[in-house]
Amino acid sequence: MNYYSKQAPIILITEMSRFRAHKHDMDSRVFANLPPGSLRVVQVTDPHLHANPSGCLLGLNTLESFDRILDTARTLAPLDMILVTGDLVHDGSPVGYAHLRKRLAALQTPTYCIAGNHDQPAVMRSVVHRGKVQVVTSAQHRGWSLVFLNSTLPDNDGGHLSDQELENLANSLQAHRDKHTLVCLHHHPVPVGSAWMDTMALDNPERFFDIIDQHPQVRGILWGHIHQEFEAERKGVRLIASPSTCIQFAPGQDEFGVDPLPPGLRWLALLPDGRIRTGVQRLAVCPAEIDLRSAGY
Ligand SMILES: [Fe+2]
């Protein structure tokens, strides 16, 4: 990963935030005292739903866990938007997407979905994209622009940004130079310190960051995929990833490892001056006994 060390230092701040997150579990006041005009955002990621409502990952019913997380999101209302950053379903099934869409639509909040490596992007769009639940390339809310990238490859768990996606990114950043910007994708564009997971990172981050570096309005980059909390900073840009709404991966592992931490969501306050306040809220306890010795999922 020489590219990263040559190009820009990445300041890791995950450990401190991991500690803080425990202190603030289930605190509905996280959006209190925001400057007027701030956007109240919730990210839910990697729900891994199945067509079968009883579908589990490592013993955890992913639909029930998703419902519990959406209950938590309701305690943070009113929300300006919800971001769903990939692996919406585990089995690529239209019925799985329908479970997700029904629940997100009930929240009556602008919701933006992007694909993950477990998704079927065309199926996802055909089922999910309707009304306030959208699959789009960008959206603007007040003084902020959000860019949504598809970093998936067919039949491959790793990530890649095609020429088309990179062009979409550049065009959107060019068209909204006056807006603070949050770029969202599924795969991690920097290593997160788990060797097994870093083999499934974005495989062309240099082209991605070349574009980001030309646009100082980019304030943050947000992703899913890693099923764990992560916060860092690169050239003043926040790098943020989040727990899954189902099973968690243990940080700092050479090989696949499960973390017994409960499922969670991330809240983000996008301030009018471009700053981002953010944190993680988890369920008080894990809703099932996870098989911690599993070698995969
Ligand atoms: Fe996932």
How many residues are given for the chain? 297
* Ligand 1 center–CA 178 separation, angstroms: 33
* Ligand 1 center–CA 188 separation, angstroms: 12
pLDDT, residue 291, reads 79
* Ligand 1 center–CA 73 separation, angstroms: 19
User: Is 72:281 a contact under the CB 8 Å cutoff?
Assistant: yes
Beta bridge partners of residue 49, listed in sequence order: 89
pLDDT, residue 289, reads 85
* Ligand 1 center–CA 226 separation, angstroms: 7
The Cα–Cα gap between 39 and 109 comes to 12
* Ligand 1 center–CA 288 separation, angstroms: 18
Which DSSP letter does residue 75 get? T
The Cα–Cα gap between 48 and 167 comes to 29
User: Is 219:236 a contact under the CB 8 Å cutoff?
Assistant: no
User: Is 189:85 a contact under the CB 8 Å cutoff?
Assistant: no
Residue with tokens 């909204």: 176
* Ligand 1 center–CA 53 separation, angstroms: 18
Strand residues in 3-99 grouped as ranges (E): 10-12, 39-44, 56-57, 60-61, 81-85
pLDDT, residue 178, reads 98
The Cα–Cα gap between 84 and 114 comes to 6
pLDDT, residue 114, reads 98
pTM of the predicted structure, to 2 decimals: 0.94
* Ligand 1 center–CA 219 separation, angstroms: 24
- The secondary structure of 198-210 as a DSSP string is HTTSBS-HHHHHH
pLDDT, residue 65, reads 98
Which DSSP letter does residue 283 get? -
User: Is 58:247 a contact under the CB 8 Å cutoff?
Assistant: yes
Backbone angles phi, psi at 188, to 5 degrees: -80, 130
Backbone angles phi, psi at 210, to 5 degrees: -60, -40
pLDDT, residue 24, reads 45
In whole angstroms, how far apart are CA 260 and each of 41, 49, 60, 295? 26, 20, 11, 15
* Ligand 1 center–CA 175 separation, angstroms: 31
Q: At how many degrees (to 10) do helices 94-105 and 121-128 cross?
A: 40
* Ligand 1 center–CA 241 separation, angstroms: 12
User: Is 108:65 a contact under the CB 8 Å cutoff?
Assistant: no
SS3 at position 77: coil
Residue with tokens 């909040």: 109
Which DSSP letter does residue 44 get? E
User: Is 63:53 a contact under the CB 8 Å cutoff?
Assistant: yes
pLDDT, residue 182, reads 99
* Ligand 1 center–CA 118 separation, angstroms: 7
Question: What are the structural domains of the chain?
Answer: 2-24+41-282 (3.60.21.10)
- Nearby residues of 128 by Cβ (< 8 Å), 6 or more positions away: 88, 97, 100, 101, 104, 113, 135
pLDDT, residue 258, reads 93
- Nearby residues of 154 by Cβ (< 8 Å), 6 or more positions away: none
Give per-10-residue mean pLDDT for the chain (297 aa): 63 63 63 96 98 96 98 97 98 98 98 98 98 98 98 97 98 98 98 96 98 98 98 98 97 93 97 97 91 80
